Each structure stands twice: as C-alpha cells, then as structure tokens.
C-alpha cells in the first residue's frame, strides 16, 4: 500500500526540519522515495574512520521516525586513500572502532538497530563492476572538477585523494540509495555527483546538508582537531563536564557557541525523538521527572527547576538571567553523561571493541 | 647451467647495440638477468592500442638472438584511461587488431613465436592484488610526480590518465620482468618506476630507451599522426612506394630523414637478424642473389647492383653519387614491400582480423 499523503508530508518534514532550504537538492526525489510502495527510502551516510568519533553523529536522530533505512558506509578504502598516512591495517581497525561506537551511540539515542544498515565500503568498491565504472568516470572527470569538489581549505598533494569524490558518488548507485546526507562541507562532492552520475547513465539522488555544528570552541568540528574542541563518545563523565564548563563561560547563543549548539542540535532533538518513540530504561528524555507535557529540556536552578519546550526558550531564559551559565552547563553535562553512560557501559563490556581501539589508536588509546 | 661469460657479453651487446649509453639504466640488472640459471630474461614491451600500428615496431628484432622472452602487454585499460575518447569496447577491438598485426609483423621479420608472450593488461590489472598495490602507490605519489613523468608536450585535463604511469610501473612487478624497453619518450615513466617501486617493496628493473625513430617527414613518429608520415603495416605496395618517394626527395642522412632512418634502424637490422637466424622462404635478407658474404643491403643501379655491409656505406655511396635517390628509394620500397607482403597475406587470409579492423577503426577501415 502506498503511504498516505499526510504521512508523506509528515515524514518529509521530519527529514528536512532544521536543514536550511538552500542545503537541500532534489527534494522531489526524496519526496518520491517516501511515496514508493513496499519500500523504505534508503538514506546514505558515509563516514570516514579518522579520529575518534565525536558527538556530531547524533544530529539526525529524528529520522528514525520517518521510516527510513539509514545506510552507513564505513569508508575503509576512501579513508586509506584520503589520509595517505596510516596503513590499510590500521584504517581497518579504525573502521571496526567506528562501527562499535556508532552502534552504541545509536542505541544510546534510542534508534532501533533495524533502521540502520552498515556496509563496509571495500565490499562494493573492490568489485569488477565498480572498478569499471570508476575508470569510466575518470575518463569524463577533469582533474579541476575533483579539486573544485573539495572543501577549499583542503588541497592535497598526493594522487590518491583524487579518487575520493568519485568513489563517494558511485556509492549512491552501488548502495541503491534515494538520498545522501552529509555536512555542509560536502556541497562540492554532492554537486560532483549531480554533474557526473547522469553522464554515466545513473540516476540523480537527493542531497541534504546539515549545517556544520560548531566545535566547543566555536570553530568547525572535525575528528582531526584537538580533543578539547569536542566531546568524544568515549569521554568519561569528568572530562565531559570539564570540557563543557571550559568552553561555555559566558551568556552566549548557538550561533557562535558550541555548547549551546549541542543543546539545540543534539540534546533537544534526541529528547524530541525519545518522546516520540517512547522512553525505555536508560533512555529518558531530558525533561525532569515532574515536567509538564511537551517539555524537552529541564534545568535545575537554585530555586527549583525550569522546564522548556524548545531551544529558543532556553536561550531567552539564559539571556534574561532566569538561569545562570553554571546551571545550564550542569544540565547539559548531565544530559551528555546520561547518553554517554550507555556507550561507556558497552565499551567496558566489549573486549573486542577495547582491543580494536588499541590497534586503531595506538598512541592515545 | 649458467651461461658462459662470453655468451653473456655477446647477448648484452645484442640487447644494447644502437642504444646510446645515457638511454640505459640498471645495466647491471640486465646483465644479472642474462647470467641467471635456467631462466630466460624477460623483457617488457608495453604497447597501447591507439592508431593503426606503424613500422617502428621492427626496431628491436635483433633481440631475438639474445635468448630473451619479450613480454608484450597489450594495454587495454591504460589506453582506455589515456585516450578518454573511445569506449572500452572499441579499445578492446583495437587491442585485438594490435595483437594480429604485431604477430604478423614478428613472423614477417622472422622472430619465432616462442620468443614472444602476449598478455592482455586487464588480466593482471583487474585483480584485487593489483588494485591494492595501486591504491598503496597512489598514497605515496604526488600529483606533480605523475605530471613530471609525462612527455612534456602532453598534459591532459582529465583524471584518468593520472593512473597510467603507475599502472605501467606496477606491470614490471606483476609480469615479473627483468627490464623494460620503450622509446625515449618513456624517460619520465621509467624514472617514476625507479623512484616509487622500491618504496612499495618491489625491486628495481633495468630500462632501455630506443632513440625515437623520425617519421617519414622528419618529425616524431606517432600512431596519432597523419598516415603520410609513416608506413602502416597494412599499407599496400603502391602506397608504400608513394610514401617513400614523396618523403625522400634529395640526398639526406638518417639524422633528419625518416626514410634513411628506416633503412638504418629497421631494414638493415632485420637483414642482420635474418642472416644470423637463417633465411627461410619469404624471409630473405635484403642482399641481392649474387651478393658477397656480409652484405646486408643491395641496391640496383643503372649499371648493375651495389652491395653494402653497413648503413654507413650506403649513406656514403649516396653522398658520393654512386647511387641516386631514386635508386635507393626503389630498393627501400622493395624491401618494405617484401616484408609487408607477408603481413598483407596474413590479413587477407584472416577473416577475424578483418572483422576486428572494421570495429576498431570504423571510419578509416
């Protein structure tokens, strides 16, 4: 049975909410995939195992309610070609680490495992069909188009990264996905796919770009940046608390402050999700025990507890002096630590994950 | 049994004769391969199926006497990536065409089929091992090093040719060859192999570069140049004659004149070879019937016939007015047509070759 019009509109809204209009291309393709009969739309998320996984992965948790399959490609070949530094063996260990940490984070957030499909990139890249299409692609792609597809700050000297935009684009065809999701730094690669995939006879896909989440210090977040600029999914409670208090020291907004952005783009969406999909043990929303319906975040104050149904209300309350920076930091650290406790517990119980971590990050493990 | 020192020296001389010293690298590696017990040295010749095959392929026929195996890689993938114009299907037809024409030419010259081993490039390139090594290579090769490896006149825009130097270099390992032979335009690629193969843990190979044979008009010879600049192996007798008379119109030397260079670098070496390996039906040396021993080329004159034991004698005779340009052209055209008659006959008898030619060169077939 085809989904009802109302249902399609509601799901499309879940998918596109918080994504600026100019960050969406092929909206009609996404909509069409929601209308398809007997098939869950497939959304592609490519993740390159580099540094230890940080908090930003929680952002699109609301999709869980949109009846999607999130296809997560663990980019082993891509990462090997892109980093030009770590041997393939270590990249593979990092890939295993990523799978463990992403799975645990999904569980912590409350996303059912049935909604997620992990694929190791090399399983489809190392096939004669993919290789042939990659050669075909390379004969129609000017070298300059590859450079244009990159984030401008990134202009590598080596030959191997030149393949990466093509591999990520071809994955859309090989994983049979309906749309691809990435950060705003993927604009060039998504444009590359739009331009060249139809020239190979493959269909266009929808593309969605999440605005980049600032790091705790306010700059761009990246796995390769210093640890104090982001919360790692394996940080202990004290580290999380210190990072938040160290970064959020005065009244600020999500526009420039990474801690406030985390509240808006991670914690409150997760709280929304948990309210929608039902709360199970260890997956409470971030509302206090006695909060009224519709609360997505509660903050303890000297005089009691404040309840909020949106991020905007929290920010206004902070600016008006109803809550202090210290109080909001305590609430945010508490929410993160509630989330991360599930991940830490998984890590402690999983000897394979621990072993993989030592191989993947020998220096800082 | 290891070959005797005299034998090694003689064979090394056969291999390196007519190659300037500065065009040889790794001479000690070549010599070592000649000394190896129970194994014929393997010499690599990579040929890229582009335009119709021209005369230059005859140049190294003297190697036949050096107890080598000439491994000829028919570069299907390389050519597809390099030309960025013809579809893979057509490149494969051209590859089949090349195999037919090279085999026929070898037979015409008098090279035993047992000395030659054809390999289709894709059979070793499209393997997981080669792919993995190619990725490894690309992570250590700067983009600029690829551009430096090319002939300077050639600076393609597309991405695909960037792979080619690496593929040709890795072939040395995958085909287990002792040395590679190419034109002087391969200097950059041979330097590329010398630089990067040891970094991958592979051994260095010897490299030999033939001086470039000028085309009939005196410029560089290339499959992609106009037909009148070279003799195609499938030209008919009249065409051969017209091309030679059209190009060689005054007393000249092999330095600037393609016809004289053909005499020095193709016809006389073949005549030498035929004298050494024995003359069979249809494979006469280019000495007249009554020529004294040691003759490698005879030219009919108004007053009879002149016999020469070296190219230098022919050139001197022309300069001294003992023979005319017309007489030398007639002799050269006759020798080429004797060679090509064998190829033409093969072509006429081989329906598969004819069919392949139509597919490979649909416009000018």
> Which tokens in the block code for residue A145?
């188009």
What pLDDT, on a 0 to 100 scale, did the predictor assign at position B270? 85
Confidence label for B79 from pLDDT (cuts 50, 70 and 90): very high
Most confident of A45-49, A231-235, A360-364: A45-49
* pLDDT(A365) > 50: no
Neighbours of A36 (CB within 10 A): 12
Per-residue pLDDT reduced to its tens digit, B102-153: 898 888 887 888 889 999 999 999 998 999 999 999 999 999 999 999 877 7
Phi, psi of B157 (to 5 degrees): -85, -30
Task: Give the contacts of A239 (CB within 8 A, at least 6 positions apart).
Answer: none
What pLDDT, on a 0 to 100 scale, did the predictor assign at position B222? 64
pLDDT, chain B, mean: 87
Average pLDDT over residues B91-102: 93
The residues on A that touch B, with CB distances below 8 Å, are: 77, 80-81, 84, 88, 126, 128, 131-132, 135-136, 138-146, 157-160, 162-163, 166
Average pLDDT over residues B211-219: 75
In chain A, residues with a C-beta closer than 8 Å to the C-beta of B88 are 132, 135-136
Residue in B316, B297, B217, B317 with CA at minimum distance from that of residue B258:
B217
Residue in A248, A267, A252, A264 with CA at minimum distance from that of residue A326:
A248
Distance from CA of B137 to the nearest CA of A (A): 8
What pLDDT, on a 0 to 100 scale, did the predictor assign at position A255? 78
Distance from CA of B52 to the nearest CA of A (A): 22
Per-residue pLDDT reduced to its tens digit, B342-356: 889 999 999 999 999
Beta-bridged to residue A44, according to DSSP, are A71, A180
**Cβ–Cβ gap B158/A139 under 8 Å:** yes
What's chain A look like in SS3? CCCCHHHHHHHHHHHHCCCCHHHEECHHHHHHHHHCCCCCCEEEEEECCCCCCEHHHHCCHHHHHHCCEEEEEECHHHHHHHHCCCCHHHHHHHHHHHHHHHHHHHHHHCCCHHHEEEEEHHHHHCCHHHHHHHHHHHHHCEHHHHHHHCCCCCCCCECHHHHHHHHHHHHHHHCCCCEEEEEHHHHHHHHHHHHHCHHHCCCCCEEEEECCCECCCCCECCCCCCHHHCCECCCCHHHHHHHHHHHCCCCCCCCCCHHHHHHHHHHHHHHHHHHHHCCCCCCCCCCCCCCCCCCCEEEEECCEEEEECCHHHHHHHHHCCCCCHHHHHHHHHHHHHHHHHHHHHHHHHCHHHHHHHHHHCCCCC
The vertex-B20 CA angle with B19 and B25, nearest 5°, equals 85
SS3 state of residue B116: strand
Distance from CA of A141 to the nearest CA of B (A): 6
d(CA A144, CA A140): 12
Contact A223, A50 (CB under 8 A): yes
d(CA A353, CA A52): 13
Q: How far apart are the first and last CA of chain A?
A: 50
Average pLDDT over residues A194-210: 96
Confidence label for A60 from pLDDT (cuts 50, 70 and 90): low
**Cβ–Cβ gap B158/A136 under 8 Å:** no
In chain B, residues with a C-beta closer than 8 Å to the C-beta of A160 are 135, 138-139, 141
Q: Is B349 left (phi over 0), alpha (psi -120 to 50) or beta?
A: alpha
* DSSP assignments along B33-94, one per residue: HHH-TT---EEEEEE---S--BGGGGTTGGGGGGT-EEEEEE-HHHHHHHHSSS-HHHHHHH
Locus of tokens 């090093």: B145
What pLDDT, on a 0 to 100 scale, did the predictor assign at position A72? 94
Average pLDDT over residues A154-175: 94
**Cβ–Cβ gap B162/A157 under 8 Å:** no
Contact B118, B356 (CB under 8 A): no
Point out the residue among A80, A81, A162 whose CB comes nearest to the CB of B159.
A162
User: Which site among B80, B90, B92, B139 would you substitute to test the A interface, given the most A Cβ atoms closer than 10 Å to its Cβ?
Assistant: B139
Average pLDDT over residues A47-60: 67
What pLDDT, on a 0 to 100 scale, did the predictor assign at position A17? 83
User: Which site among B126, B143, B163 would you substitute to test the A interface, given the most A Cβ atoms closer than 10 Å to its Cβ?
Assistant: B143
**Cβ–Cβ gap B139/A160 under 8 Å:** yes
Beta-bridged to residue B147, according to DSSP, are none
* pLDDT(A21) > 60: yes
Point out the residue among A88, A139, A163 whose CB comes nearest to the CB of B81.
A139
Distance from CA of A79 to the nearest CA of B (A): 11
What pLDDT, on a 0 to 100 scale, did the predictor assign at position A206? 97
Worst-scoring range by mean pLDDT, A26-30, B170-174, B278-282? B278-282
In chain B, residues with a C-beta closer than 8 Å to the C-beta of A141 are 158-160
> Which tokens in the block code for residue B205?
């190979």
Provide ipTM, 2 decimals.
0.86
C-alpha radius of gyration, chain A, whole number? 21
Per-residue pLDDT reduced to its tens digit, B319-336: 999 999 999 999 999 999
Confidence label for B197 from pLDDT (cuts 50, 70 and 90): very high
Worst-scoring range by mean pLDDT, A24-28, A103-107, B46-50, B212-216? B212-216
In order of A35, A70, A262, A266, B280, the CA distances from A62 in angstroms are: 19, 12, 15, 10, 83
Q: What is the DSSP letter of B3?
A: P
Confidence label for A6 from pLDDT (cuts 50, 70 and 90): confident
Confidence label for A165 from pLDDT (cuts 50, 70 and 90): very high
Contact A346, A99 (CB under 8 A): no
Confidence label for B164 from pLDDT (cuts 50, 70 and 90): very high
Average pLDDT over residues A29-53: 88
Point out the residue among B77, B135, B157 whose CB comes nearest to the CB of A142.
B157
In chain B, residues with a C-beta closer than 8 Å to the C-beta of A135 are 77, 80-81, 88, 160
Residue in A137, A119, A217 with CA at minimum distance from that of residue A177:
A119
Worst-scoring range by mean pLDDT, A168-177, B46-55, B308-317? B46-55
> Which tokens in the block code for residue A36?
């398809």
Q: Give the strand pairing for A42-47 and A179-183.
A: parallel
Beta-bridged to residue A74, according to DSSP, are A47, A120
What pLDDT, on a 0 to 100 scale, did the predictor assign at position A273? 79
Contact B150, B164 (CB under 8 A): no
* pLDDT(A156) > 90: no
Residue in B74, B105, B108 with CA at minimum distance from that of residue B91:
B74
Question: pTM score, two decimals?
Answer: 0.87
Beta-bridged to residue B25, according to DSSP, are B207
> Which tokens in the block code for residue A83?
């980093």
* pLDDT(B69) > 80: yes
Distance from CA of A315 to the nearest CA of B (A): 47
**Cβ–Cβ gap A142/B159 under 8 Å:** yes
Per-residue pLDDT reduced to its tens digit, B149-159: 987 777 789 99
Torsion over CA: B42, B48, B53, B56 (sign): negative
Q: Which domains does chain B have, with CATH numbers?
A: 5-210 (3.40.50.620), 227-360 (1.10.240.10)
In order of A63, A359, B327, the CA distances from B300 in angstroms are: 89, 80, 7
Locus of tokens 């912590």: A108
């Amino acid at each position: 049975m085809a989904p009802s019009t109302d249902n399609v509109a509601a799901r499309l809204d879940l998918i596109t909410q918080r994504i600026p209009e100019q960050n969406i291309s092929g909206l009609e393709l996404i909509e069409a995939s929601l209308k398809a009969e007997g098939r869950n739309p497939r959304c592609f998320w490519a993740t390159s195992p580099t540094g230890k996984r940080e908090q930003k992965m929680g952002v699109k948790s609301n999709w869980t309610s949109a009846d999607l399959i999130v296809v997560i490609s663990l980019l082993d070949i891509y990462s090997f070609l892109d980093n030009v530094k770590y041997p393939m063996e270590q990249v593979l260990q990092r890939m295993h680490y990523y799978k463990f940490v992403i799975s645990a984070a999904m569980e912590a957030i409350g996303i059912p495992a049935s909604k997620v499909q992990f694929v190791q990139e090399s399983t489809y890249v190392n096939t004669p069909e993919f290789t042939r299409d990659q050669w075909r692609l390379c004969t129609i792609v000017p070298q300059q188009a590859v450079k244009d597809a990159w984030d401008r700050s990134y202009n590598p000297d080596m030959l191997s990264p030149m393949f990466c935009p093509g591999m990520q684009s071809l994955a859309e065809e090989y994983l049979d996905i309906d749309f691809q999701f990435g950060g705003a730094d993927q604009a060039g690669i998504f444009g590359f796919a739009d331009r060249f995939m139809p020239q190979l006879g493959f269909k266009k896909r929808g593309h969605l770009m999440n605005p980049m989440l600032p790091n705790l210090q306010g700059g761009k977040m990246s796995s390769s940046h210093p640890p104090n600029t982001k919360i790692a999914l394996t940080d202990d409670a004290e580290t999380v608390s210190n990072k938040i208090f160290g970064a959020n020291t005065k009244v600020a907004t999500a526009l420039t402050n990474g801690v406030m952005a985390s509240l808006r783009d991670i914690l409150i969406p997760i709280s929304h999700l948990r309210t929608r999909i039902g709360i199970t043990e260890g997956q409470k929303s971030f509302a206090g025990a006695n909060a009224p319906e519709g609360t997505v975040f509660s903050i303890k104050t000297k005089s009691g507890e404040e309840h909020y149904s949106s991020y905007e209300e929290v920010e206004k309350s902070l600016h008006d002096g109803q809550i202090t920076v210290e109080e909001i930091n305590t609430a945010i650290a508490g929410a993160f630590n509630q989330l991360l406790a599930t991940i830490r517990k998984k890590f402690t119980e999983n000897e394979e994950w621990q072993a993989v971590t030592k191989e993947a990050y020998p220096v800082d493990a």
